[in-house]
């Protein structure tokens, strides 16, 4: 048996079910590795003591029918966890301990999983490099001083560094898929409405969606199966029959029509990304899929549209952090002064920037030109996909326009940072499922990802295509454990 922390979720659950490993052994192995991995700055809050207690409790009376029997899992610190501090990577929630549990995390615990701790992320999930976190940046285990992507940077790094077998992140414009791509891991953003948003600190309500982040596609299907559920507490949750994704997982994609959108061939795209995409196409052909050239004509407008819609919703969603009810409060001579000081001191620059953009685009006199126009363009982008999906079963694109960059490289250039999301935001705007799988490396040996985009509620199909491609690609994420301390 290989080292515990390098095992996949599938292996770990098998080993538990076959009683080859106990929950306590597994939990302690992850904790032990975490203790030596502080340099990565992956955890905001750990739950190690309670996790060990819970693993012992599980072992004393193991329920092996669970889908995640005694499996320790760390989650992004955007999910509210009952009794465990939840910060959203922000000073303004530094001291906030929820008395309730998000539906998605509850789904994990209901299937036997154990909370290891809360993972670092960009403040309120606003960022593409995990550098906006109040709790400091995260190191990408792939290489020193490299960003792990964002906003689910702690999550991607934790999976890549074997600090959690799997995790869940959230994706508003690429926050699962881009960090997965940067760390050589798998990340899936489900169809909007698949996973409940109840108990997830909101960034942009019409775009936010939780999803699995894993070492491989099979684990991804296993985790999606657990977290995806209809929830009456979320009015945008959709009641439909969900697949048993792991059971129905198949590499047989013969005859599947896969679209290649010409608009994703952007200017200045590095050759290695172009090559990666070509390789993906040829692997898909090898698997018997049919490749079809398609057009998504409004792709160019996706990024500006996203940077109007998302900040607009965020400016309103973040109004509740005012120092009155919970979280950080600064003192002031009167209510207005208290608000101003609390929010000035409590929010970081990127969050403030987006609140200001959002406030501006919703202001009277600008609303029509920005917010309303953006909503119309959003409909056109959605229609592009509807049209494309009348011809194809899935769409294949690169996940990101580049590999992971150096820490600090883009912090002073927000627009260049925003361009990271160019291939991922259209999918959020259209509410579609998308998955990023590791597909190759650049000249620095940094991972690169390919994205498979599906029809609404067609997660099974993109999982199957990814599963088939994964087999052909045979990616190896040789990480050297350079950060480990004794």
Pick the catalytic residue from 151, 155, 156, 246. Answer: 151
How many residues touch another protein under the rule CB under 8 A: the total is 43
Half-sphere exposure of 240 (CA within 13 A, CB side): 15
Q: What is the DSSP string of 232-284?
A: TTSTT----PPP-TTTT--S--TT-EEEEEGGGS-TT--HHHHHHHHHHHHHH
Angle CA 39–42–46, to nearest 5: 110
Q: Compute CA 378 distance to the chain's CA centroid, rounded to the nearest angstrom.
A: 22
> Encoding tokens for residue 74?
């760390």
Angle CA 257–450–175, to nearest 5: 120
* 175: annotated active-site residue: yes
What is the C-alpha R_g of the chain?
A: 21
Closest distance of CB 243 from another protein, Å: 24
Within 41-80, the residues that bind another protein by CB under 8 A are 79-80
Q: Which stretch binds another protein (CB under 8 A): 65-73, 300-308, 357-365, 457-465?
A: 357-365
Compute φ and ψ for 327, nearest 5 degrees: 75, -165
Question: Judged by CB under 8 A, which of 53, 263, 322, 409 binds another protein?
Answer: 322
Query: Nearer to another protein by C-beta: 211 or 259?
Result: 211
Closest distance of CB 170 from another protein, Å: 11
Q: The dihedral of CA 334, 336, 341, 342: what is its sign?
A: positive
Within 326-345, the residues that bind another protein by CB under 8 A are 326, 335, 339
Q: Which stretch binds another protein (CB under 8 A): 106-114, 226-234, 291-299, 385-393?
A: 226-234
86 binds another protein (CB under 8 A): yes
443 binds another protein (CB under 8 A): no
- Which residues in 27-163 belong to E strands, given as ranges? 43-46, 72-76, 114-119
Question: Judged by CB under 8 A, which of 371, 385, 405, 446 binds another protein?
Answer: 371
109 binds another protein (CB under 8 A): no
Backbone torsion region of residue 23, taken as left when φ is above 0, otherwise alpha when ψ lies between -120 and 50, otherwise beta: alpha
Q: Which stretch binds another protein (CB under 8 A): 139-147, 172-180, 233-241, 426-434?
A: 233-241
197 binds another protein (CB under 8 A): yes
Closest distance of CB 401 from another protein, Å: 28
278 binds another protein (CB under 8 A): no
What does the alpha-carbon distance between residue 466 and residue 460 come to, in Å, rounded to a whole number? 10
Query: Nearer to another protein by C-beta: 99 or 485?
Result: 99
Query: Contact positions toward another protein, by CB under 8 A?
Result: 79-80, 86, 88, 93, 96, 98-100, 102, 197-202, 204-206, 232-236, 312-313, 315-316, 318-320, 322, 324-326, 335, 339, 359, 362-364, 367, 371
Catalytic site positions: 76, 151, 175
């Amino acid at each position: 048996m290989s080292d515990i922390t390098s095992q996949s979720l599938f292996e770990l659950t098998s080993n538990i079910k076959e009683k080859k490993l106990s929950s306590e052994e597994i939990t302690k192995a992850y904790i032990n590795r975490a203790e030596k991995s502080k340099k990565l700055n992956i955890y905001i809050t750990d739950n190690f003591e309670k996790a060990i207690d819970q693993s012992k409790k599980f072992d004393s009376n193991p329920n092996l029918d669970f889908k995640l029997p005694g499996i320790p899992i760390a989650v992004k610190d955007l999910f509210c966890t009952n009794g465990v501090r939840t910060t959203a990577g922000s000073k303004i929630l530094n001291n906030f301990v929820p008395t309730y549990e998000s539906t998605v995390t509850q789904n994990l615990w209901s299937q036997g999983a154990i909370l290891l701790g809360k993972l670092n992320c960009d403040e309120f999930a606003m960022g593409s490099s995990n550098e906006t976190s109040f709790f400091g940046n995260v190191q990408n285990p792939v290489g020193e001083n490299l960003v792990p992507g964002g906003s689910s940077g702690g999550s991607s790094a934790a999976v890549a560094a074997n600090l959690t077998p799997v995790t869940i992140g959230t994706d508003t414009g690429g926050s699962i898929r881009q960090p997965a791509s940067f760390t050589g891991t798998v990340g899936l953003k489900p169809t909007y409405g698949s996973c409940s948003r109840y108990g997830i600190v909101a960034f942009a309500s019409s775009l936010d969606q939780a999803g699995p982040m894993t070492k491989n596609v099979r684990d991804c299907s296993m985790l999606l199966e657990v977290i995806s559920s209809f929830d009456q507490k979320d009015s945008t949750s959709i009641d439909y029959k969900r697949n048993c994704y792991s059971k129905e997982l198949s590499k047989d994609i013969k005859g599947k029509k896969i679209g290649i959108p010409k608009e994703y061939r952007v200017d200045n795209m590095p050759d290695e990304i172009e090559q990666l995409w070509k390789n993906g196409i040829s692997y898909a052909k090898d698997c018997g899929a049919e490749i079809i050239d398609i057009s998504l004509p409004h792709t160019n407008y996706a990024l500006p549209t996203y940077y109007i819609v998302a900040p607009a919703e965020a400016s309103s969603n973040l109004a509740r952090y005012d120092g009155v009810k919970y979280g950080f409060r600064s003192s002031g001579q009167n209510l207005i002064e208290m608000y101003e000081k609390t929010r000035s001191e409590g929010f970081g620059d990127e969050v403030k920037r987006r609140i200001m953009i959002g406030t501006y685009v919703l202001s009277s006199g600008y609303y029509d030109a920005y917010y309303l126009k953006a909503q119309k363009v959003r409909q056109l982008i959605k229609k592009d996909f509807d049209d494309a999906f009348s011809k194809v079963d899935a769409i294949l694109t690169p996940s990101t326009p580049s590999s992971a960059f150096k820490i600090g490289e883009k912090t002073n250039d927000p627009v260049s940072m925003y361009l990271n999301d160019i291939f991922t935001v259209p999918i959020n705007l259209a509410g579609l499922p998308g998955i990023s799988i590791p597909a190759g490396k650049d000249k620095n040996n940094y991972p690169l990802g390919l994205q498979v985009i599906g029809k609404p509620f067609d997660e099974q199909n993109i999982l199957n295509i990814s599963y088939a491609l994964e087999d052909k690609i045979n990616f190896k994420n040789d990480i050297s454990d350079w950060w480990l301390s004794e």
